[in-house]
């Protein structure tokens, strides 16, 4: 499994392209690009690596993580967008969120088409052929930053995509109000019950900032123990 990171939009949100070298299939996590230049950079990478996207994975429906989904669904018709429809349906629209954050950014949004819930599992490549190695994906719902913050754990690879749930020595903001899903105690409970039990060597790829590990956060994250 390979992972490439792309920073997007004024929030410096991190979009990830994950790919399997054997099958040449890829997943795109949280496409937050808001300009043609940002999209072309990611699209060019996919083409240069000769990858075929299997799906888009959405951690949560805050605007900085989803405003570029439409770029992908237009370039790859029929590409499924996985995420929490409940989170999508309970949040303000993406343009309204941008106005709330005071950001003037283009929106190229396509909604979630495949609903995911806590405990769901996926295989990647999603449509693997015989003889192609598959990677398991476990869906962990960690509410508190948004109504439903989905984290994607690859147990065979010891990799976690945490969205805005868990950061390097920090956690997601909870001060955006109830409409945006903010709930500090619930977020800490979610992390401690769902993420901290993962193997300590698990690499954590967050929605903003540097990569970390479960072990690092268990030892040094000051927000998990109040």
What pLDDT score does 131 carry? 54
What pLDDT score does 104 carry? 82
Task: Look at residue 48 and give its three-state secondary structure.
Answer: helix
Q: SS3 letters for 96-158? A: HHHHHHCCCCCCCCCCCCEECCCCCEEEECCCCCCCCCCEEEEEEECCCCCCCCEEEEECCCC
Asked if residues 163 and 60 have their Cβ atoms less than 8 Å apart, the reply is yes
What pLDDT score does 57 carry? 98
Q: Splitting the chain (226 residues) into consecutive groups of 10 residues, what average pLDDT does each group show?
A: 96 96 95 96 98 97 96 97 97 91 86 97 75 83 97 97 98 93 96 97 98 97 85
CATH number of the structural domain spanning residue 29: 3.60.15.10
What pLDDT score does 29 carry? 98
What pLDDT score does 134 carry? 83
Q: Which helix (H) or strand (E) element contains residue 56?
A: strand 52-57
Domain that residue 107 falls in: 2-224
pTM of the model: 0.95
Number of domains forming the structure of the chain: 1
User: CA 67, CA 73: separation in Å to the nearest integer?
Assistant: 12
What pLDDT score does 132 carry? 60
What pLDDT score does 130 carry? 55
């Amino acid at each position: 499994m390979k992972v490439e990171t792309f920073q997007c939009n004024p929030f410096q949100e991190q979009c990830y392209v994950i790919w399997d070298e054997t099958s040449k299939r890829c997943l795109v996590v949280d496409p937050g690009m808001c300009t043609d230049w940002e999209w072309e950079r990611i699209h060019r990478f996919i083409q240069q690596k000769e990858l075929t996207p299997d799906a888009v994975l959405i951690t949560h429906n805050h605007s900085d993580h989803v405003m570029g989904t439409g770029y992908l669904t237009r370039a790859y018709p029929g590409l499924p967008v996985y995420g929490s429809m409940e989170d999508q349906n309970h949040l303000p629209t993406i343009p309204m969120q941008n106005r709330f954050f005071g950001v003037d950014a283009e929106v190229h949004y396509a909604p979630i088409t495949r609903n995911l819930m806590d405990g769901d599992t996926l295989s990647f490549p999603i449509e693997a052929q015989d003889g192609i190695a598959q990677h398991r994906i476990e869906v962990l719902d960690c509410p508190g930053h948004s109504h439903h913050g989905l984290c994607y754990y690859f147990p065979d690879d010891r990799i976690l995509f945490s969205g805005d749930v868990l950061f390097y020595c920090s956690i997601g903001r909870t001060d955006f109000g109830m409409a945006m899903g903010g709930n500090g105690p619930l977020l800490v409970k979610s992390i401690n019950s769902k993420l901290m039990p993962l193997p300590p060597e698990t690499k954590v790829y967050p929605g903003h900032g540097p990569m970390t590990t479960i072990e690092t956060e268990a030892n040094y994250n000051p927000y998990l123990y109040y």
